[in-house]
Amino acid sequence: MTERSDTGRDNAEPSRSGAGVNASQLEAWFVREILPLEAELMQFLHHNWRNKSDITDLRQDIYERVCEAALEKIPDQPKAFLFRTARNLLVDRVRREHVVPFEAVADLDALGLVIEAANPERTAIARDELRRLQAALDRLPPRSRQAIVLGRIEGLAGHEIARRMGISESTVSIHLANGIRALVDILYGDPADVRRKP
Amino acid sequence: MSEMHAPAAEKNRAAEIEAAAAEWLQRRSFWNWTAEDEAALEAWLAQSLAHRIAFWRLNAGFSRTDRLAALRPLQGTAEARRGSFSALAKFAAAFAMIAALGLGASLYVLQPRERTYTTGIGGHETIAFSDGTRIELNTDTVLSTRMTTRERMVWLKKGEAFFQVRHDPAHPFIVMAGNRRITDLGTKFSVHRDGARLEVAVVAGRVRFSPADGANDLQSALLTPGDVAVATPSSLMVTKKSTSDIANELGWRKGLLVFRHVALAAAIAEFNRYNTTKLVVADPAAAQMKIYGVFRADNVEDFTALAHMVLGLHVAHEGNTILLSR
């Protein structure tokens, strides 16, 4: 959370030599280059994978593979690298498990098109940030939404939120944690899919 | 149709890790956070790359909601800034409570017959009158009132104010601004006086816009909701705006500046009304760049940070001015 705006943007690539990417460099790279692609990645996974309950696991596995590789060397083309990793992972899964219906991988060859698709203009996204945030908030489950609004907009601490909502502190924690997960899913992931249930 | 499943041991592993990361993050964000907690979080993060990625992702996404603080009601921050809960804020709270209880807003405030109200740069005050009329003063404003049993007169010397007038045909409510007279006919409207330029925007009801005594050669106009009248000492132009455009212009009532495709130069002029730190845009091309967003009027830092990130502008601090350039 310390380096969001500047690191790596004005400077040269963090790992010119190809070795020695530290944790905060990796985090900054991941947040800057990979997370903004999550909506596209989720779209790709939904499109190419039948069992929707696997998708969070797949996403996490893909991120892990990407980050492990980035620890060695930061990829020159993050987007192409991310989708190549995603494709390879799906293919591995398909090979490992014999029960997969054939259609599940039918679209994999269309992937080239996905990779070539124009980069969404980040400027436009940032401009609409506040509006997006409000829209995301509006889509949270009611109790999570209330807890997040009290915490984030009114600036209350956890125990104050509990008092205001008339519920226990441990329940507030659950609502806050669920709210954070759902918000981040909406902000990065598939904007039409709120799948988190408390 | 057969379906594909991940091995049982791996199933929902990501969801569990994410839940744990969310629990850490909410604890760190909203509860008492000690050095021991920090150490415990560090240890958890050190356990695996999977933990770190889940936490980075949630933390990065949730940090974006910092900007939601811009929606915070002004009252709370004004209180923090001034360090004391003003009688005005208490009054406003009481007013809101009574209004919410539906008891009617029959509050009585003792008003001297003539008074002058002043706000400094970045200031924002509300005056509530015994008849239910409310006047909100924006930044850098001087306004005098004379409320008697026969008449209700207001002089806007400079700046901007929003009027919510309890209409009473027997006691007309009149705003004087330079050589213009604005007569309420049951209304919510704003008046902004900037040098010789006068702007009146009507939100609800009707307003009569007429010359002051002795300036009878000037035009009059009857304004209805959505009408925006712009007058100089010798001219008057009335245009229609959408209610949302007018609502945006009145964002200052919530401490917000709302820009929808506004040129950077115009946005900066707005910010400079509210802040002693002045923004300057260096080159004409940058001045024409369009801004889209909602900002706290008193938060120049947020604005310049975004100008840097989104517009790619260079930000240089020089004493009390901030220079924006390409």
Sequence ranges of the domains in chain B: 13-68, 108-246, 255-325
Between CA B197 and CA B141 the distance in angstroms is: 14
A108 and A138 housed in the same domain: no
pLDDT-derived band at A19, boundaries 50, 70, 90: low
Q: Is A146 on the interface with B (CB under 8 A)?
A: no
Q: Is A181 on the interface with B (CB under 8 A)?
A: yes
| Higher-scoring residue by pLDDT: B74, B322 | B322
* pLDDT greater than 70 at residue B94: no
The mean pLDDT value for B99-108 works out to 34
* pLDDT greater than 60 at residue A52: yes
User: For residue range B217-228, what is the model confidence (pLDDT) as tens digits?
Assistant: 777 888 888 888
A98 and A132 housed in the same domain: no
Q: Give domain status of residue A152, yes or no.
A: yes
Q: Is A192 left (phi over 0), alpha (psi -120 to 50) or beta?
A: alpha
Q: Give domain status of residue A196, yes or no.
A: no
* pLDDT greater than 70 at residue B58: yes
pLDDT recorded at residue B45: 92
- Which of A32-41, A114-123, A182-191, B167-176 is the least confident region? A114-123
Q: Give domain status of residue A12, yes or no.
A: no
| Higher-scoring residue by pLDDT: B286, B22 | B22
| Higher-scoring residue by pLDDT: B3, B177 | B177
As a dihedral over the C-alpha atoms of residue A87, residue A91, residue A97, residue A102, rounded to 10 degrees, the angle is 100
Query: Which of A87-96, A120-129, B183-192, B290-299 shows the highest mean pLDDT?
Result: B183-192
Residues of chain A contacting B23 with CB distance shorter than 8 Å: 173, 177
CB contact under 8 A, B30 and A1: no
- Yes or no: say if A98 and A43 are a contact pair by the CB < 8 Å rule: no
CATH number, span B255-325: 3.55.50.30
The ipTM is: 0.72
- Which of A79-83, B87-91, B228-232, B247-251 is the least confident region? B87-91
pLDDT recorded at residue A24: 81
Between CA A4 and CA B317 the distance in angstroms is: 21
List CB contacts of A175: < 8 A, sequence separation 6 or more. A143, A144, A146, A147, A148, A167, A198
A27 and A116 housed in the same domain: yes
* pLDDT greater than 50 at residue A15: no
The mean predicted confidence, pLDDT, of chain B is 78
A43 and A110 housed in the same domain: yes
Between CA A169 and CA A151 the distance in angstroms is: 13
Closest-CA residue of A relative to B17 is A60
The mean predicted confidence, pLDDT, of chain A is 73
A28 and A116 housed in the same domain: yes
pLDDT recorded at residue B10: 56
- Yes or no: say if A152 and B65 are a contact pair by the CB < 8 Å rule: yes
User: For residue range B14-37, what is the model confidence (pLDDT) as tens digits?
Assistant: 899 999 999 999 999 899 888 888
The last residue of a domain, from among A85, A102, A120: A120
- For chain A, the domain total comes to 2
- Yes or no: say if A175 and A143 are a contact pair by the CB < 8 Å rule: yes
pLDDT-derived band at A154, boundaries 50, 70, 90: confident
Q: Give domain status of residue A195, yes or no.
A: no
| Higher-scoring residue by pLDDT: A46, A86 | A86
The mean pLDDT value for B156-182 works out to 89
At residue A7, φ and ψ (nearest 5 deg) are -55, 130
Residue ranges making up the domain that contains A67: 23-120
Count Cα neighbours of B145 within 13 Å in the Cβ-side half-sphere.
20
pLDDT recorded at residue A128: 62
User: For residue range B246-285, what is the model confidence (pLDDT) as tens digits?
Assistant: 888 888 887 888 777 788 898 899 889 888 889 999 888 8
The last residue of a domain, from among A74, A100, A120: A120
Q: Is A10 on the interface with B (CB under 8 A)?
A: no
pLDDT recorded at residue B48: 92
Q: Give domain status of residue A194, yes or no.
A: no
The mean pLDDT value for A83-95 works out to 83
Q: Give domain status of residue A5, yes or no.
A: no
The mean pLDDT value for B287-293 works out to 79
User: For residue range A173-188, what is the model confidence (pLDDT) as tens digits?
Assistant: 999 999 999 999 888 8
pLDDT recorded at residue B151: 78
Query: Which of A23-37, A167-181, B283-297 shows the highest mean pLDDT?
Result: A167-181
- Yes or no: say if A23 and B52 are a contact pair by the CB < 8 Å rule: yes
Between CA B158 and CA B269 the distance in angstroms is: 16
pLDDT recorded at residue B71: 54
The mean pLDDT value for A108-135 works out to 48
* pLDDT greater than 70 at residue A106: no
Instruction: Find the CB nearest B58 among A30, A94, A180.
Output: A180
* pLDDT greater than 50 at residue B74: no
* CATH code where residue A164 lies: 1.10.10.10
* pLDDT greater than 90 at residue B191: yes
pLDDT recorded at residue A190: 55
Closest-CA residue of A relative to B63 is A1
pLDDT recorded at residue A8: 37
* pLDDT greater than 60 at residue B245: yes
- Which of A30-39, A45-54, B202-211 is the least confident region? A45-54
| CB within 8 Å of chain B, chain A residues 35-94 | 35, 49-51, 53-54, 56-57, 59-61, 63-64, 67-68, 93-94
The mean pLDDT value for A123-149 works out to 75
Which DSSP symbol is given to B181? Answer: E
User: For residue range B141-164, what is the model confidence (pLDDT) as tens digits?
Assistant: 999 988 877 778 999 999 999 999
pLDDT-derived band at A25, boundaries 50, 70, 90: confident
Q: Give domain status of residue A11, yes or no.
A: no
pLDDT-derived band at A189, boundaries 50, 70, 90: confident
Closest-CA residue of B relative to A10 is B312
The last residue of a domain, from among A70, A85, A120: A120
- Which of A30-39, B4-13, B103-112 is the least confident region? B103-112
Q: Give domain status of residue A172, yes or no.
A: yes
CB contact under 8 A, B72 and A54: no
pLDDT-derived band at A61, boundaries 50, 70, 90: very high
Closest-CA residue of B relative to A173 is B26
Class of domain B108-246: mainly beta
A116 and A129 housed in the same domain: no
CB contact under 8 A, B76 and A99: no
Taking CB atoms and an 8 Å cut-off, how many pairs form between chains A and B? 159
pLDDT recorded at residue A45: 87
| Higher-scoring residue by pLDDT: A97, A133 | A133
Residues of chain A contacting B26 with CB distance shorter than 8 Å: 158, 173, 176-177, 180
Closest-CA residue of A relative to B291 is A127
